[in-house]
Structure 1
Amino acid sequence: MLQTIRDKTTGWLAIAIVAVLIVPFAFWGINYYFTGGTEPSVAKVNNADIKYNQFQRTYANYRQQMQAMLGNRVMGPADEELLKQQALDMLIDSELLNQVTRKIKLAASDDQVRETIKNIDVFKGEEGFSKEFYQRTVSMLGMPPAAYEQQMRLDMMSEQLQSAVVESEFVSRQAAEYAARLANQERNVTYAIIPAEKFIESIEVSDEQIEKFYKENTKLYIKPEQVRIAYISLSLDKLAEDVHIDEEDLRTYYEANKAKYDTDEQRQVTQILLKAEDISTEEIKEATRAEANKILERIRSGQSYADIARVYTANKDFDFTISEYGFLGRGILEPEVDEVVYSMQKDEISDVVQSKLGFHILALRDIKGGVMNTFENSHADVENDYRKEQAERQFFDLADQLATTAYEHPDTLEITAAETELSIEESEFFSPTGGVEGLTSNPKVIAASFSEDVLKDGHNSEVLELSETELAVLRVVEHVPSSRRPLEDVRDEIIHDIKFTTASGQAYELGQEVIADLEAGKEFATISEDRQIEWQEVTALKRADVSVNRAVLRTAFRLGRPQEEKPLLGGISLGTGDYAVIAVIAVNIPEPATIKDAEIENTQKQLQALRSAASWKQFYEEIRSAAKIRVFKDRISNTGF
C-alpha cells in the first residue's frame, strides 16, 4: 500500500518542499543543531549521529500525512514498519547530502536564504513578505526561525549539488527528433490469438492429478481465519431520533434562537425559457413569444411539464430549457423575472415574461422566510436543530463513559453497556478482508478485531471513531483459526485450475508450432487452414491504438524491424490463458519533416528529465555505498503511536 510514498516525499528541491508545506521539513530535528550528545541516536552516518528526536519527528510527519491520505483506512503493522524505514532513509539521505555539500564547500549566503524565504507565498501578506506571518508560521511548525533558516541553507546547498550533477546531462535535438520519429512509427501487423478454451473439453483430469495438485498447492485452498465480535455503538443520529419532543420545549427553543430562523424571504420556482436574446431579429422574437404563449396554454390546460419538455427538447426550431430552482433570494434571477416572481402567490403560474434572455413562464412552488418567519413555518427546522443539540450533549457524555468503562473493564462489555444504557450487538463471522457491508466492512473495525490486544489478549478495543457522528467499542467473542478447506469442497475448483493450466500450455505449444511454420516459410492462409486459427491484419498500427489487445500491442512494438521483407515473429501468453502469435510485416518511421518542432522540444525535455534522474540516482547510490552507515534497529522499533 505504501510502496510509492518514498517517491512522493523525498524531493531535494527545498523551495518546492517548503512552499507547499506538505512535509513541514520532515527531516528538521531542532536538536540536531541546538543540543548536545546526550540524546540517543537511531543511526550513525559516517561520523554524524541521527538523533532519536529527529527520527520521531520525521516518522510522525510521515504517519500524519499517510493517515490523512488513507482516510478511514487503517495502517497495519507492516505499513508502520515501512513508514519507519522511509523516515530513517529520509534522514540518512539528508545527512549524506549535507556532508557532501560541506566537503566540496558549497554555500548559500545569508542574502540568498533571506530572498528565498521572502519568495515563499505562505509567508506573504497583502503587501508582500510579512515578517509576522513568517514568524507565526514557523512557530506553528515548532521551530525557532534560526533552525528554519539553517535547514533552508542546507537544502539550498543540496539543490546546488543536484543541479551540478543533473545539468551535466545533455540531449541533442537530433537525438530528440529521432526519438520522436520512433514514437510516431506505424507498423503493419498480422496476429492470431489461439484460445485456450478450444482445448478445455478434451482435457480429462484423474483423481491422482486432483490429489497431487491439492497437496502441491495447499496455500490456494486455505480458508482465512474469522472472528465474530460483540460491540457497542454510539450514534449521534440514533440519539437524535430518540430525543423526546415536547411542543413547549420546541417553542422555548425557537424563541431563544429566533434570529436563526428569521431569514429573508426566498421563493422556489419552476421556469420555462425560450431563448431569444437581444441580438435576435424582431421576427424571431415575435415567433418565440407566440410559441411561449402556446406553451402557457398547454400548462394551463393541465399538460405536464415532462410532456412539454419531451416535445420541445426534440423541437430544433426553438432553444428550450426548463429549470427547477431551489429557494432563491431576491436579485438572483433576471430583474424582470425577479419582479414577477416576488409578486406571485404560491402555486400561481405567470403570464409570459420577456427579459434580455428571451421569454419566461414561471410557476411559484413555495415561499419561506420573510413574513413567513413563524414558529409553525419553521417547525421542521426547529425540531431538527433541537434534536441535534440535545443529542450532541448526550453524545459527548456517553462517549466519555464509553471510553472510560471499556478501558477500566477490558475483559467485558457488560459493565460498559450497563453504565451507558447502550445495547450490545453481535456480528456475523468475517475475515481480515472484512464483511460485505455495515460495521464489519469498516477498516477500523477490521484492524481492531484482528489486532493482538483484542484478538490474542482478549481485551476490549479502544473507542473507534467510525465517522464524525458514530463511535464503537468491540471485543472478539469467537475466533476460528485459518484452516485448509477439505478436498471435496474444492474439487471442482481444482479441476478447473488443472484444465486451465493444461489448456494454456497446449495453446502455448500450438503457438510455438505456428511460429515454426512461419519461420519455415509457410503462408498465413495455409497455416490458418491447417491449424484452424484466424489471422487479424492491422495496418498503420500506432503505440496508442486501443483496438488491439494491450499485450499484443506491446509485443508488436518490442519486436524489431523486419529485414528483407521477411516478417519478424514473436508470441506472448495472455492473462486469459490464450496465446498470441504476432508477425510484424513492415515498419514505417515518419520523415523528419513531418515531426513538429513542439513535439521535438517536448521529447527533448522528457529525455533530459529521464537522463537527469538516472544520473542523480547513480550519483546518490555511489555516495551512499561509500558511506559508513550504522542503524540501531532496537531504538527504531520502540517508536510508535
Structure 2
Amino acid sequence: MEAFRTLIRGWFGKLLLILFLTPFAFIGIEGYFSGGSKADVVKVVNGQEISKKELENRVKLYNSQLLKDNKVNGDETLLNQPFIENLALEDLISLTLLTQQAINLGLGLSDAQISQMLAQQPTFQENGKFSQARFEQYLRGNGLSKQALINDLRKDHAYNMLAAGIAQNALVNNIDVQQFLNLQTEKRDLFLAKVQLDDYKQKVKVSAQEVQDYYNKHQAQYKQAARVDVDYVVVQPAMLAAQVTPVTEQELQQAYQQYVAEAKKNQQYDVKQLLISLDQHDNDPAKAKKVADEVYAKIQAGLSFAEAVKQYSEDSLSKTEGGKINYTAGAFGAAFDQAVLSSQDKVTAPVKTDYGYHLIVAKAQASQVASFEAEKARLSAEVQQTKSDNLFRDTVNKLNELVVDNDALDVVTQQVKAARIDTVKDFTLFTQHPVLSDPAVKVKLFNEDVVNGDRNASSNIQVGPQGDIVWVKVRQYYPSKVQDLAQVKAKVQAKLIEKKAYEAAKKDLQQSLAAFKSQPAQQALATSKLNFEHIGIRNRGQVTLEVQRVAFSLPQPAAGKWSVDTVALDNDLIVVAVADVQKDDINKLPAEVLKQQKAFYEGLRGQQLLNDYAEYLKSKAKIK
C-alpha cells in the first residue's frame, strides 16, 4: 500500500501533474486577456491569432517546471530554449483548436450565465455579496472590459467541457488498471553477482582500424561544448566600507522628517459614500448627475447623510453599512482620492468616477508617530546603509564607464585596491564556478556577439545575494565541435577495451547463465562460480537505472528458478537475477484506493485521447 501512497511523489507522478493543469494554470489568466499588435502575432489558427505574449507565458511555465529539476541546478542557460518554445507553440495551437471546436459544438455559456458565475466568485464579493466596486477594480487592474472577460471565460469553459467529455469516454477496465499499477508498484526479489573486468582487459587487443571505425560511427559522443578563456574582476560592497562617512545629526533629523511625512502620507481614512450609479440611469452621465445634485441639495437642506444613503444610494453593498466602504487610495480614481482628502468629515459635492457620482464623507483615523528618540537607532542604521548603498552604486557607475570606455578591467583594480583580476580557461556552460556560473554572467560569455567575435569588456553584472558586481572580458572563444580522433583516441580505446572485456566475460559465463534457464536456481548455483548477494525485494526506484532496465525487463521466473541477465556497470559485469516478482492484487485493494487509481489512469487515457483529437484538428486546420 505504501507504493500507492508514494506514487505521486515520484518522478512519474510529477510528470503527470502537468497533464492535468487547466489552461488558466498553464498560461496564467493574463495570457488569455493580453492584447497585442499584429507584429506580436506568432501564429494564426483558423483566423484566430496567438500572441507573442501568450507564447512567452507558456514558455515561462515550462522553464519554471524544468528549473526545478536538479539536473540544471536552476540555471536557465542550460535549457534548450528553441525546443521549449516549439513545444509551447504546438501546445497553444492545440489549445486554440480544441477551444474553437468546443465553441462550434455549442459548449459555450451565455453572457447571462457567465455574469452569474462571476457574481458568485469570492474574489468579487464583500461580506458574502457581489461587489461592483471590486469587480470594476479588478477589470481596471487587468486592463479588461467586462465583455472581454466574458468572452475569454466562455472559451475556457467550452474547452473544459470538451476536455471533460472526451475524458469520460476514456473507459478502462480492471485489467488496464492492474497493468498500470504493475508498472509503478511491481517489486522484484533480486540477487546480484559481480565479475571484475580488469583481468579480461589485459588480454584484449584493439586495432587502429577498430578505433577508427568506432569513432566514425559515434562522433556525436565526442562533441566538445563551446568554451571560453575569460578574465573577470569582482567588486563587493565590503571593499568600500572604509570609505563610508559616519551618520551626522543633520542627516538623522532629515531622515526623521521623512519618516513623519511618510506616516502622514499613509494616513488611513474611514470613508462612506452615497453612489448614484451610471448603470441605473441608462449610462447617461447627465441623468446620474441630476439625481446626485438633487440628493446633495437635500443633504445641504438638513437630510442626514445616513438617511440619504438609506433612501438614495445605488450601491447595494455599502448601502447596508450606512455607506461605509473599504477605501484604498487609487481604487476609485484621482477625483475620489482628492474628495477624501478634502472632506474633513463633511459631505462633498458629487464626484464623478467611472461608476457614477459619489457623495463622500471621510474622516482621518487617529495615527501614532513615534518620537525622534524612539526612532533614532533604526534611522541611524537605515541612513548608514543608504550611504553605503549610494557609495557602492556611484562607484559601480563610475567604474562601469571606465571599463566600457577603456575596454579594460585593470581600471577597476586601480580604483578599488582590494579587487583583483582573475583568469579562467576552458570555461563551459557546465563548468562550476563561484562567480562565472551565475546565469547572468554566462549569458555575457556565450551570447551571439561573443560567437561573432566581440571581445570587448562587458558592462557591470550583478551576482550573488549580496549584490556583488562583476565585469568580464572574453579573451578567446572556442566553438562547439567534434574532437579530432587524435584528441579522443585514448577514450575510444578504453571504451572498446571495456566492451570487449564485457563480451569476453559474458562468454565465459555462458554455461552458468544457461544453467539458470534449464535448472532450478539451487542446482544452477551449485555448479556456478558466481558469488551472488541477495539485495532484497526492490521496486524500480530502489536500484540504479542500469540494473533497473535489466531486472524489470526479465520474465517472471517459474517456481524455484531464477531469470538472469547481465549489464556492464563501473568496470564490472553485473549478473542480475530475479527470484520472484510481486504484484499487488487489485482485488485486495480498498475500494477507495482502487477507485482513485482507476480515475487516475482514466485521466491519463483521456489526456491521450485529447492529444489525439488535437492532432486530428491540426490536420484539418489552416495554420499560418
Q: TM-score, normalised by structure 1?
A: 0.61
SS in 1 for 2:470: strand
Q: How do 1:13-24 residues align onto structure 2 when only pairs under 5 Å count?
A: 13=22, 17=24, 23-24=28-29
Pairwise CA distance, 1:126: 5.3
Letter in 2 for 1:13: T
- 2:497 paired residue number: 499
Structure 2 CA distance for partners of 1:603 and 1:223, relative to 1, 3 Å: closer
Structure 2 CA distance for partners of 1:532 and 1:458, relative to 1, 3 Å: same
Q: How do 1:302-451 residues align onto structure 2 when only pairs under 5 Å count?
A: 385-401=382-398, 409=405, 412-413=407-408, 425-433=421-429, 436-451=432-447
User: 1:485 & 1:184 partners in 2: Cα distance?
Assistant: 44
Structure 2 CA distance for partners of 1:594 and 1:12, relative to 1, 3 Å: closer
- 2:565 paired residue number: 571
Pairwise CA distance, 1:399: 4.7
SS in 1 for 2:109: coil
SS in 2 for 1:440: coil
- 2:516 paired residue number: 518
The Cα offsets for residues 279-300 of structure 1, whole Å up to 9 and x where unpaired, read as xxxxxxxxxxxxxxxxxxxxxx
Structure 2 CA distance for partners of 1:442 and 1:210, relative to 1, 3 Å: farther
Structure 2 CA distance for partners of 1:130 and 1:417, relative to 1, 3 Å: farther
2:136 is aligned with 1:135? yes
2:57 is aligned with 1:58? no
User: 2:525 & 2:248 partners in 1: Cα distance?
Assistant: 84
- Are the aligned partners of 1:508 and 1:573 in contact in 2 as well (CA < 8 Å)? no
User: 1:147 & 1:93 partners in 2: Cα distance?
Assistant: 22
- 1:611 paired residue number: 605
The Cα offsets for residues 262-317 of structure 1, whole Å up to 9 and x where unpaired, read as xxxxxxxxxxxxxxxxxxxxxxxxxxxxxxxxxxxxxxxxxxxxxxxxxxxxxxxx
- 1:48 paired residue number: 47
2:109 is aligned with 1:108? yes
User: 2:612 & 2:398 partners in 1: Cα distance?
Assistant: 58
- 1:300 paired residue number: none
Structure 2 CA distance for partners of 1:168 and 1:108, relative to 1, 3 Å: same
Pairwise CA distance, 1:48: 1.2
- 2:321 paired residue number: none
Pairwise CA distance, 1:23: 1.9
Pairwise CA distance, 1:614: 2.4
- Are the aligned partners of 2:235 and 2:470 in contact in 1 as well (CA < 8 Å)? yes
Letter in 1 for 2:386: E
- Are the aligned partners of 1:10 and 1:90 in contact in 2 as well (CA < 8 Å)? no
Pairwise CA distance, 1:392: 1.6
User: 1:74 & 1:420 partners in 2: Cα distance?
Assistant: 33
The Cα offsets for residues 338-367 of structure 1, whole Å up to 9 and x where unpaired, read as xxxxxxxxxxxxxxxxxxxxxxxxxxxxxx
- 1:458 paired residue number: 455
- 2:620 paired residue number: 626
Pairwise CA distance, 1:9: 7.3
User: 2:89 & 2:585 partners in 1: Cα distance?
Assistant: 51
- 1:270 paired residue number: none
User: 1:178 & 1:83 partners in 2: Cα distance?
Assistant: 32
Pairwise CA distance, 1:153: 0.5
- Are the aligned partners of 2:557 and 2:579 in contact in 1 as well (CA < 8 Å)? yes
User: 1:22 & 1:149 partners in 2: Cα distance?
Assistant: 18
Structure 2 CA distance for partners of 1:74 and 1:194, relative to 1, 3 Å: closer
- Are the aligned partners of 1:228 and 1:426 in contact in 2 as well (CA < 8 Å)? no
Structure 2 CA distance for partners of 1:583 and 1:421, relative to 1, 3 Å: closer
2:593 is aligned with 1:599? yes
Letter in 2 for 1:439: V
User: 1:592 & 1:438 partners in 2: Cα distance?
Assistant: 52
User: 1:178 & 1:485 partners in 2: Cα distance?
Assistant: 46
Pairwise CA distance, 1:533: 0.7
Letter in 2 for 1:103: N
SS in 1 for 2:29: coil
User: 2:78 & 2:534 partners in 1: Cα distance?
Assistant: 52
- Are the aligned partners of 1:500 and 1:577 in contact in 2 as well (CA < 8 Å)? yes
User: 1:562 & 1:387 partners in 2: Cα distance?
Assistant: 75
- Are the aligned partners of 1:196 and 1:503 in contact in 2 as well (CA < 8 Å)? no
Report the more deviating stretch, 70-79 or 163-172: 70-79
- Are the aligned partners of 2:27 and 2:58 in contact in 1 as well (CA < 8 Å)? no
Structure 2 CA distance for partners of 1:39 and 1:198, relative to 1, 3 Å: closer
The Cα offsets for residues 371-417 of structure 1, whole Å up to 9 and x where unpaired, read as x9899xx6xx888645422122223334555566666x4x7147975
- 2:343 paired residue number: none
- 2:529 paired residue number: 532
- 2:291 paired residue number: none
- 1:195 paired residue number: 195
Q: How do 1:555-566 residues align onto structure 2 when only pairs under 5 Å count?
A: 555-562=550-557, 565=559
- 1:236 paired residue number: 237
- Are the aligned partners of 1:176 and 1:604 in contact in 2 as well (CA < 8 Å)? yes
Q: How do 1:1-16 residues align onto structure 2 when only pairs under 5 Å count?
A: 13=22
Pairwise CA distance, 1:168: 1.9
Report the more deviating stretch, 216-225 or 136-145: 216-225
Q: How do 1:58-207 residues align onto structure 2 when only pairs under 5 Å count?
A: 58-62=54-58, 75-76=76-77, 79-125=80-126, 127=128, 129-172=130-173, 176=177, 189=189, 191-197=191-197, 199-200=199-200, 202-205=202-205
Letter in 1 for 2:392: F
Pairwise CA distance, 1:154: 0.6
User: 1:558 & 1:418 partners in 2: Cα distance?
Assistant: 62
Letter in 2 for 1:197: L
Pairwise CA distance, 1:181: 8.7
Letter in 1 for 2:474: V
Unaligned runs of 5+ in 2: 1-12, 260-370
Letter in 1 for 2:607: A
Pairwise CA distance, 1:454: 3.6
Instruction: Give the fraction of aligned pairs with identical amino acids, expressed as a percent.
Output: 15
Pairwise CA distance, 1:157: 0.6
User: 1:538 & 1:79 partners in 2: Cα distance?
Assistant: 39
User: 2:620 & 2:402 partners in 1: Cα distance?
Assistant: 56
Letter in 2 for 1:147: A
Letter in 1 for 2:590: K
SS in 2 for 1:195: strand
The Cα offsets for residues 416-473 of structure 1, whole Å up to 9 and x where unpaired, read as 7599879773422242236543322322212211222245223443442324623334
- Are the aligned partners of 1:445 and 1:464 in contact in 2 as well (CA < 8 Å)? yes
Structure 2 CA distance for partners of 1:419 and 1:400, relative to 1, 3 Å: farther
SS in 2 for 1:429: strand
Letter in 2 for 1:612: G
User: 2:187 & 2:56 partners in 1: Cα distance?
Assistant: 51
Pairwise CA distance, 1:165: 0.9
- 1:476 paired residue number: 474
- Are the aligned partners of 1:191 and 1:536 in contact in 2 as well (CA < 8 Å)? yes
What is the number of residues matched between the two proteins?
491
- Are the aligned partners of 1:514 and 1:581 in contact in 2 as well (CA < 8 Å)? no
Letter in 1 for 2:454: D
- Are the aligned partners of 1:412 and 1:460 in contact in 2 as well (CA < 8 Å)? yes
User: 2:166 & 2:375 partners in 1: Cα distance?
Assistant: 74
Structure 2 CA distance for partners of 1:386 and 1:230, relative to 1, 3 Å: farther
